[in-house]
Every structure is written in C-alpha cells, then in structure tokens.
Amino acid sequence: MKLRKLSAATAILATGALVLSGCTPGGDNDDAEAEETSNGENGGNTDAITAEGQQFTTEPEDTGKADTSDLETMDDEISVSIGETEFISYQGFTPETYSTYNSVVVNRLFDGFGYWGTDNVWYPNEDFGSYEVTSEDPFTVEYTIGEDVSWSDGTPVTVADYVLDWAYQNAELTNSDDEPLFNGISQTYGERVLEGPQGDPEGKTFTIEYTEPFADWEILVGSALPAHVVAEQSDMELDELVTAVREADTEALEPAAEFWNDGWFTDPGEFPDEELIPVTGPYKLDNWQAGESLTITANEEYWGSAPGTERIVYRFVNDGQHVQALENGDLNIARPQATVDTRGQLERLEDDFVLHEGEAATWEHLDFNFNDGAFSDSLELREAFAMCVPRQQIVSNLIEPVNPEASVLNARESLSFEENYEEIVSESYEGTYDEVDVEGAREILEAEDAVGTEVRIGYAGPNPRRTDTVAEIQASCDEAGFEIVDEGSEDFFAPGGALETGDYEVALFAWAGSGQVVSGQNIYSTDRPQNYGGYSNETVDDLFNQLATTEDADEQQEIIIGIEQELWGDLFGIPLYVHPQLSGSDITISNVRDTASQDQIMWNAEQWQRAE
Amino acid sequence: MYSYVLKRLLSAIAVLFGASLLVFVLVINSGDPLLELRESNADNVEFLIQQRIDFMNLDQPWYSRYWIWLSGIAGCAVGACDFGTNMSGQDVGAMVANSASSTLRLVFLATILSIIIGILTGIVTAIRQYSSLDYAVSFFVFLFFSLPVFWAAVLAKDWMGITYNNWLREPHFSWTQIFMVAAVAAILVPLIIGGSARRRLLTGAVMFGFVMIAMPLLDSLNYAREPRLGPALITLLGIGLAFGLTALLSGLRNRSVLYSALTVVGLGLVSYYATFWLLIDPPGGWLSIVGLFVVTIAVAVLVGRTMGGHAKGQAVAVSVITASLFAVMVLLDHFMRAWPEFLGMKPRPIATIGSSSPNFSGDFWQVSLDQGTQLILPTTILMLVSVATYTRYTRSSMLEAVNQDYIRTARAKGVNERTVVFKHAFRNSMIPLTTIVAFDFAGLIGGAVVVEQVFGWSGMGNMFVTGLSNADPAPVMAFTLITGAAAVLFNLIADLTYAVLDPRIRV
C-alpha cells in the first residue's frame, strides 16, 4: 500500500515536470501569474481539504484556481452528484431559485469578477475583468470587463448587463403596489450604491460609488444576467432599458422586470429557448432529465481558456447512495454524507478513488440564552458551564473519526482552515477553556449557590451527532453540579418552538458560513434578527458598525480580534468545531479539488479532465 | 349497476376530500419550511425569510392555505387542474407529469411480474402442501417479506450491480460455481416436479448432468456478452412449449389442441423471418411491437377456433399462450442481438442509480435495453415484498378451494388432477386474490417511495419525500391525491371484477 502512495506521488511529480517542460512559451507566464496571486492579499496556501493521491495537470499554488490554460477540451463525460435536490432555473437570483444546488450549476454558466477559493476566500477572476478602488471618499470602485468577454450568442458583455444587475437589487424600483419590481435575492447593492454603475452602457468600464465604505465590497459585484435578452423580451432597446433603470422609470421597466422574474422559469426538464439562455462561462445548458440528471456541455463560443471536459453530468441522487454509485462507475465524483461509515467505505476503494477529506464552512456552537434563564445575567455561571464542556472530547469522539485532522474551534468570525485563524485566536482567546475543569466549575457553582441549576440544551432533532454531543456535556457537567437536560426536538427552530418561546438555556446548532465579513453583525449585534439569544453589548455593536464600513483587510482583522475578545469575555457562546466534509473522486480524473466554499467540489469543474 | 358505480364514485370523492384535508394539515405542521434559512449566515436572511413567507403564504391560517390549494384542484372539474407550486416556484402539475411515468413504469412491471411469479409459486406450494418445497418456499417468502427495503437494495446493488458488472468484463464460471448451481438445480427441480423417490432421483441426476454440460458450454460461447437464441432454438423451445402446455391444459390425447399449438409454432417461425427486417429498426418503437403482438394473438385465436374441433376453448387458450411465449422469445432474440453493441456503449450495464442513463442515445433496442437494465434492480426489490404476499394468499386460498366439497365430488367423478386444479380449484381461488391485487397496486406506489429514493429515481415517491422534508404541501398533496385516487379506482375495479368472476355477486 505504501508503495502505491509513493508511486502516486512520483506520478504527480512526473506530471508536473511534464507540464512544465511541455509548454515552454507558457511556462514563464505561469510563474509570473502565480507570483502575482501569492503576493496578493487574498487567500491562504493550504486547501481546507486534503486529498491524498489526487493528480493535477498543474499543481495549485494557493487556495485559488491553478492556471490550466494549457488544457484542451476532451470529448468525455464526467458524472457528479452533490445531493438529490434538483436544479431549478437558469435564473438563480430569485429567492425561490437561489440555493446551493442551483448555484453549483449556474456558477458554471456565468463568469464574474471573482470566485471563492477553497478556504472560502474571495479571489478576483482576472481573466474576466479587473476592479480597483479609485477613491476612498466617497468610496468608489472601478470595474473593467475584459475586452473579449462576451455572451455565447456573440453579444459582448457590457456595462448594461451590470446596470441590470444593480437594478434587480434595488428596492427603490417599485411597482404601483409599492413592492419591489424585481423579485431579487438581495437588496444590499441598491442600499449601498444609490446611483448604480456609471459608465457608457455599451462600454466595458463602470464605476460604482458607495454611500459609505463597505467591508464586503469585493463580493458585491460578481456575475450578471444578459441584459440584452431582457431588453429584447420586453420589446425595448438595450439603451432604453439602461436609461429606464437610471431614471428609475418604473413604468417602462415593468415588462423587463416581469421577464426577469418569470421569463426564465420553465417546468422541470425543459430549458427556456436557446436564445434566451446565453452564457459567459465555460459551459452551457444542454440536457435536463427532470429529477434525474442535468448535462452541461462546453460552450464553444467561450472567450476564455477551454474547459477540460466536454460534458459534465449532474445527477440528483440521495447522498446515502453515492459510494455504491461511485464504485459502479455511475458517478465519477460524489459528495456523500460525512460519516464514519462513508469514510470507511471510501477508504476501502482507495485504489480507484481519491478521498477528499477536510472541513466545510459550517460550524457548530453552543449559544447561551440571554433573555432569561440561569445564564442570562450571570457571567460566572456561563464560565462554569464553559469550564465543564468537554470540547476536546467531543471533537475526539464525534468528529475525528470522520476527519482525523479536526480540532476544537476557538473563534466565531474565522474558521480553523482560514489563513488568519491562528492570529485571531492567539490575540483573542487565552486558552481558558481548553481543558475541562470540573472542579473549578463546581467551586463556582457552590460559590454562586447554584448547584443543581437546570440547563436545557435545545437543538433541532433528530440529530444523532447533537444528541451525542449533549450526552458528552451531560457526563461532564452533571458532575460539576449542573443538571443537563436534552431538549432536542423537531420544532426547536420552528415558530412556537423552544427557541422562540425561550424555553432553553443553551442552544446547540450550526451556522453556515458565507465568506462575508460582516455577516456576524446579524448574530451578535443588539436586536438583530439572528441574535436569537438576545445578547447585547455596546462595544460589540460599535465594532460591527465599524467593521461594516472598513474595507481594508488588515483593519478588518484588528476589529474582528476586538469582537472576538468581547465575545470570549462575555461568553456569548462556546464554539465547538467545524463540520467535516468528505468527497470521493475517480483517481483518473485530474484537478479535482474539494473546497469549503458553497460551490463545493464543483467549483473548478472546468479544470477536470480524465487522464487518457 | 350504474347507480352503484355512481354511489361508489361519490363516496370516493368524499374520502379523497377528507384525506386531503387531513394530510394537508399534517404536512404544514410537520416541519419548518424556514429551517435552512434560520441557520443561514447570509446578511440579508431576514429579507429572504420574509420573501419565503410571502411566497408560501406562511402567514395565513391553515384553512385559508388549504382553500388556496383546494380551489386550484377544483379546477380539475373544468379541465384546468392547478396542483399549485412548490417552494421553488415550480409547477407541481408538471412535476407530476414527469414523475408519474417513471413511477408507473416501475410499479406496473413489478406488479405484473409479482402477480405471475407469486400466483405460480402459490399454486405449486398449495399442491405440494407440507412438502419440503412448501417449507422452503415459505421460509424464503417470509424472509423476503421481512427484509427492510433499503437494506435489500444495498445488497442488490452490490451483488447484482457492482459484482455482476465486474464479472461481465470477463465473464467466466469457475467449476465450483458450476457445481453449486448444478447441485441446487438437482435438489430444487425434483422437489417441484414431485413423484416417487426413484423418479425424483432420476430428475435430479438429469438436472445435474444438464447444468454441468450447459454452463461450460454457454461459458465457452461467451454467452454473457454475446447471447443468442436463433430461429432453430426458438422453434425447438416453441415445440416444447406446445407439447408442455397442451399436456398441462388439455392433455396430450387431445390431438386437435396439440396440432393447433404446433401450427402456431410453425406460423411463428414464418413470422420470425417475415418481421426480421422490420424489427431491426421498428417504426414507432413499442407501438409497432405491441401492434405485432396483437396480430399474433388474433392469428392464434383464429388457429385455435378453426383447428380446435370440439375443444375450441382449450385450443384457443393453448394457442394464445404458446403464441405469446413464442413472441416473447422472438423479442428476446432481438434484444440479444443488440446486446454486444449495447455493452460497447454501456460497459457496466446494471447501474445503481437513475431510470435511464443520461445522454444515452442509440436505436430502439439499445435505448430499451438501457431503460430495461436500469429497471432490473428496483423492480426486483419491489417484487420481493409483493411476491411474498401473492404467494401466501394464493396458497391459502387454493388450499381452501381444494378442501371444498365440489373438489371432492370432481375427484370422485374421476376428473383428472389437472382439470381439478386448474378448472375447479384455481378459478375459485382467484376471487379473493382480486382484492389483494387492487390494494397492492396502490400500495406499491406508496411502497415505491423508498425504492425510488434508494435508486435515485425521480418518481412520485421522491416528490413526496422532498416535499415532506421541506414542509412544502403542494407536492405531498399531489402524491396523496394520485395514490388515493388509484386506491379508490382499483378497489372499484376489483368490486366490478368480482361480479364477473363470481356470478353470485351480481348487484
């Protein structure tokens, strides 16, 4: 077995050498570009996921995409599944269609100004275009779309597309009932940028001016839908559409909005007419068997470097069935449930499949109830509870069997695979709760005359892992004098459930990280919608307001350290661990890399290629 | 009669209405459609939650949500059904249209096959009551019946899917395998055929020898990758069938029946050559195949009626069955012809997921083979359970019939055993079975939920499960309505069939 791994490593080296020696003219460029990215402020050097035996045509240098411009499209098909939830629509920007499962398809169809790296960090996509901050006050960003970037129907991608992109996120554009014209997924863009993208609608350069600096400015503008299709379908000229948006002529915009909201919706299994669904990315929609599979094929009009494989087939299969489907060759790449069993099954197949193991951008935590109950006004009791929670034991018993590299999470605003994690933790957390201290907890409880305090731990059940977590806590904290009650129930989060009524002391659940800098504001600031426990700390509120308007990464990190210090000091809650993630891929397919970001293993699908 | 049917239909509508109300209330209270959003860390999550509340009318009381759904369904009365939309805004009516076809294909095939297999084993075990065969069959039937479907599916995928596909790359039997199969055949076949100890021993020895010769022969012909029947083998088997069926249904002494069956075989051979080129690429696909089958049956009926003499009825029955089985063999021959090329296109024919391979294109035979190979695993799993019920019901209902006075009378009259079993006992034992079939069909649609999930089919079951886990009522309601309607409809059909089978129950 060892011999095999060794030979795999040799093979990688050999492939790398081949690639380097094989394309001398491109070689220099490769190096230059690689240096540029590694000098940039974005991203770390190590993936959140490791995959022993994985082959690459070009070895990645950081957590962004490697340069694979030397790939030629191979007439081949790769089947992949990330779950049974089906694709919905080409139009993935409405609340009904926006989901991970739709995005993993749609993001292959549209290129944009950037993408998420494997550690959930935003990388600019320099092939598509560039952006830079041109003024700090007012905060202004200039975007330039690449000269040759165009839709697959030949229309160049222009500022007009990005004007429409702003329009759908602008809640100021309302219909006669005072409801937003566009049924869009987000309204942040319209709130932050009042005038929309400025520039010649037929040109390639536009600027956007923020009302105040914005921490997540980089990810605000990404890919756009085809404005020329929307214009044509609503019987307008493209410049008429742009003018209508800029003048907020809602009456003129109504047909365009109507098409934007409904025009791309079709019944499952059918795509809209081909001229309605041009793409800017390496793939286009090809074939959809409702409920079973969806195929995307290489976009022959693609302006960028060619994708590695002609056809990618998404199969909508329950993740419990993935391993056998992999083994039988029905799937080539799959993301089964991250459990000990699946891990064992994938390990058994290691001669033919690569096991990608690591961490997802989802993390588990215990949050206190600050509205009422024992912990709401007693920092001492919260401390005592934190002292008796066996975090390392929970990770060792429940997570390490799935991900041997797992460790206890010691921060909230940065996850353990992120590059700045170590620094943030070292400056905000002193290791106070690394060791279980039942004695210490008991002393506090006795001093507070609180021995026997009932602690109801609520979570959305049934969830065996959380039940086990509560059991571990129970074993340790009951000894310290708490009385832990497992309050897991199906309607914990539901209206009328324990979270809403406040019938819990500690909530156990997970947040799905988005990669945004200020998403924590909703959780930790006073009276915010996701601040379920009713936590309030003026310093934290101020810091988040400050963070939201800071665009410099170093300053952001300083503020985050401040926030973490406060949250540890107050014991908002106790972070536990980052969720493990497992994927399997056929060993003959090169360049497969799993990622913590929401596009999952699909994120670099255009780089996949089967070795001949 | 009409007023009876009308009354049944009206009560069916009332039942469906009640069921839909109950299920709707249960579904919308079964979970939290906002759950995934509550744990989302997006910065505009409040906005998203509000959007979904508006879209799914979550802020309205249950009765007004039900009313919205019901008024869409009420459109069916005027031919404009609206099943509503799911939480992603997809039209549930279109989803039903998509998923119903694959579910029906699965359930229909499984039902037909399990009826045939179940009733045959039921009859055999009833005839050989308390024999070791009876005990063995009972044991396996109960074993299959109690298998958890999802677990059986995993095993089936492993053995019938992955292992078979691996084997198919270089298909060879080892001598151990051949010996094992021969031994099983040598024990099993005499148990079914029965007879004196000497006869059993003889059948066992013949079976053993047959398998020991046949399997290496097939192996050397590379039969698993290049199977074929050919006209000669088909004719030979056809003649065998003609004799066997005549012996079973009317006795070999009845020459006119035997001759009509043999004529059918002869005509079959002629038609094999006549339709050979037509069937290379059948125009209209299954349509022309079904058309040819209908012609075959018509010809067989004609032959039976003209040649049957005084035993027209039996001659027709034997001719029709011979012709049907002959047609099946011809069809099989054509499929076998397409198999080697099909293997080139799909090297691992048995897939563990999906109702067809994505992007598979080929001629009629290849596409049908693709769909067929995808059907094998789920159909087998679905069959296991219902074969068990059919076998047990047939057995007990046969035994009950066999112990009736009229059977004793028939035997006393000197009627031969064949006629006693098929004419007097079997026909009467069919009556209670009709009810089971009706229930089972609707039950299988429900039972297909797990099978579809496990095999990644996008059928009705999948729609139901996804809808339920999202507390999204529209897809669940569509499922309830359709399975409910199927249950009610098949029960009605069963009641009407009763009247046909048993003249005493005329309304």
List chain A residues with CB under 8 Å of B470. Answer: none
Closest Cβ opposite residue B358 in set A84, A315, A327: A315
CB-based contact (8 Å) between B453 and chain A?
yes
Convert the pLDDT of each residue in A539-562 to its tens digit. 999 999 999 988 888 999 999 999
Chain B residues whose CB is inside 8 A of the A94 CB are: 89
Strands A609-610 and A573-586, sheet pairing: unpaired
- Residues A385-391, mean pLDDT to the nearest whole number: 95
Q: Which residue of A96, A120, A189, A525 to mutate against B (max B Cβ within 10 Å)?
A: A96
The reported pLDDT for the residue numbered B42 is 66
Distances (CA, A) of B224 to A315, B174, B379: 29, 14, 21
What angle do the packed helices B427-455 and B460-469 form, to 10 degrees? 50
Q: What is the pLDDT of residue B440?
A: 78
A–B interface: beta-carbon pairs under 8 A: 170
Q: What is the reported pLDDT for A45? A: 66
Instruction: Map residue A134 onto helix, strand or coil.
Output: strand
Closest CA to A105 of A95, A91, A121: A91
| Per-residue confidence (pLDDT) for residue B43, from 0 to 100 | 66
Mean pLDDT of A398-416: 92
Q: How far apart are CA B86 and CA A96, in angstroms?
A: 9
Closest residue by Cα to residue A168 from A193, A185, A144, A147:
A185
Six-digit token string for B114: 């399990």
Which residue of chain B is at minimal alpha-carbon distance from A92?
A: B88
Confidence at residue A256, expressed as pLDDT on a 0 to 100 scale: 94
User: How far apart, in whole angstroms, are the C-alpha atoms of residue B329 and residue B322?
Assistant: 11
| pTM (2 d.p.) | 0.85
Residue A94 contacts residue A184 (beta carbons within 8 Å): yes
Which residues on A lie below 8 Å from B95 (Cβ)?
267-268, 290-291
**Partners of residue B102 in chain A, C-beta under 8 Å:** 291
Residue A116's nearest CA partner among A594, A577, A582 is: A594
Cβ separation of B457 and A185 shorter than 8 Å? no
Closest CA to A230 of A127, A161, A134, A130: A161
Closest chain B C-alpha to A18 CA, distance in angstroms: 32
Residues 6+ apart with CB under 8 A from B213: none
Nearest to B45 among A187, A313, A522 (CB): A522
- Scanning B321-350 for CB atoms below 8 A from A yields 348, 350
CB B68 within 8 A of CB B424: no
Residue bearing the bigger pLDDT, B108 or A370 = A370
Residue ranges of domains in chain A, CATH in brackets? 360-580 (3.10.105.10)
Q: How many CB atoms lie within 10 A of CB B310?
A: 9
Measured CA to CA, the distance from residue A130 to residue A413 in angstroms comes to 28
CA distance A155 to A144: 17
Best probe of the B interface among A216, A324, A545, A597, by most B CBs < 10 A, is A324
User: How remote is the C-alpha of A112 from its chain's centroid?
Assistant: 16
Whether residue A315 lies within 8 A of chain B, CB to CB, comes out as yes
Give the pLDDT confidence of A292-349 residue by residue, as tens digits. Answer: 899 999 999 999 999 999 999 999 998 889 999 999 999 999 999 888 989 999 999 9
N-term to C-term CA, chain A: 24
Q: How far apart are CA A324 and CA A315, in angstroms?
A: 14
Reported as type and span, the H/E element at residue A560 is helix A553-570
Indicate the residue of B31, B95, B359 with minimum beta-carbon distance to A268. Answer: B95
Instruction: Using DSSP, state whether A79 is helix, strand or coil.
Output: strand
Of A186, A287, A522, the CB nearest to B358: A287
Helix, strand, coil shares, percent, chain B, to 5 = 80, 0, 20
What is the predicted pLDDT for the residue at B132?
84
> What residues of chain B lie within 8 A of the CB of A318, using their CB?
453-454, 456
Query: A328, B157: Cβ pair inside 8 Å?
Result: yes
**CA distance readout (Å), B240 to B218, B244, B326:** 21, 6, 11
- Using the Cβ of A138 and the Cβ atoms of chain B, whether some distance falls under 8 Å is answered with no
Amino acid type, A75? D
User: In chain B, what residues touch A291 (CB-CB under 8 Å)?
Assistant: 95, 98-99, 102, 457-459, 462-463
Extract the tokens encoding A539.
């310093």
The Cβ of residue A554 has, within 10 Å, a number of other Cβ atoms equal to 10
- CB-based contact B43 A522, cutoff 8 Å: yes
CA end-to-end span of chain B, whole Å?
6
Decide if pLDDT at A108 tops 50. Answer: yes
Per-residue exposure over B293-303, b if at least 16 CB sit within 10 Å of its own CB, e if not? beebeebbbeb
Q: What is residue A189's predicted lDDT score, i.e. its pLDDT? A: 92
A387 close to A441: Cβ distance less than 8 angstroms: yes
pLDDT score of A43? 55
- From B60's Cα to the closest Cα of chain A, the distance in A is 13
Name the token pair of A434: 């690394």
* A186 interfaces chain B, CB cutoff of 8 Å: yes
Peptide bond between residue A580 and the one before it cis (omega within 30 degrees of 0)? no
Confidence of residue A35 (pLDDT cuts 50, 70, 90): very low
Q: Would you call A194 an interface residue with chain B, using a CB distance cutoff of 8 Å?
A: no
What are residue A610's DSSP bridge partners? A589
A293: distance to nearest CA of chain B, Å?
6
ipTM greater than cut 0.85: no
pLDDT at position B250, please?
81
Given an 8 Å threshold on Cβ–Cβ distance, is B348 in contact with A328? yes
Judge whether B460 and B95 are in contact, CB under 8 Å: no
- Within B128-254, residue ranges assigned H as helices are 132-146, 149-156, 164-169, 175-193, 197-220, 230-249
Distance of CA A611 to the CA centre of its chain: 29
**What are φ and ψ of residue A264, in 5° steps?**
-95, 5
CB contact under 8 A, B32 and A328: no
- Report the distance separating Cα A335 and Cα A322, nearest Å: 7
Residue A8, pLDDT > 70, answer no
The Cα–Cα gap between B430 and B432 comes to 6
Q: Residue A441: pLDDT band by 50, 70, 90 thresholds?
A: very high
Q: Are the beta carbons of A290 and B352 separated by less than 8 Å?
A: no
Which long-range CB contacts under 8 A does A465-473 form with residues at least 24 apart?
A: A465/A398, A466/A508, A468/A397, A468/A398, A469/A364, A469/A394, A469/A398, A469/A508, A469/A576, A470/A508, A472/A390, A472/A393, A472/A394, A472/A397, A472/A398, A473/A388, A473/A389, A473/A390, A473/A394
**Surface of B (355-414) touching A: CB under 8 A:** 355-356, 358-359
**Residue A512 pLDDT grade (very low, low, confident, very high; cuts 50, 70, 90):** confident
Q: Mean pLDDT in chain A?
A: 88
The set of residues, in sequence order, having a beta carbon less than 8 Å from that of B505 and lying 6+ positions away, is B498, B499
Cβ neighbours around A84 below 10 Å, total = 22
For residue A130, the cross-strand partners are A144
Closest Cα to residue A242, out of A184, A182, A159?
A159
Higher pLDDT, A580 or A17: A580
CB contact under 8 Å between B95 and A186, yes or no, is: no
Task: Work out the minimum CA distance from A240 to partner chain B, whole angstroms.
Answer: 29
- How high is the pLDDT of residue A444? 93
Determine the residue of chain B that is closest to A76 in CA distance. Answer: B359
* 3-class SS letters over B73-84: HHHHHHCCCCCC
How does pLDDT run along chain B (507 residues), one tens digit per residue?
A: 678 788 888 888 898 899 999 999 999 888 788 877 776 666 677 777 887 888 888 888 989 999 989 888 888 777 778 888 888 888 888 888 888 888 888 888 888 899 899 998 998 899 888 888 899 899 989 998 888 888 899 999 999 999 999 999 988 899 999 999 999 999 888 888 777 889 989 999 999 999 999 999 998 888 889 998 889 999 999 999 999 999 888 888 889 999 999 999 999 999 999 998 888 888 888 899 999 999 999 999 999 999 988 888 889 999 999 999 999 999 999 999 999 999 999 999 999 998 889 989 889 999 999 999 999 999 999 888 788 889 999 999 999 988 899 999 999 999 888 788 877 888 888 888 887 887 777 777 777 888 888 888 888 888 888 888 888 899 999 988 888 888 888 888 888 777 777 777 654
Nearest CA in chain B to A511: B39
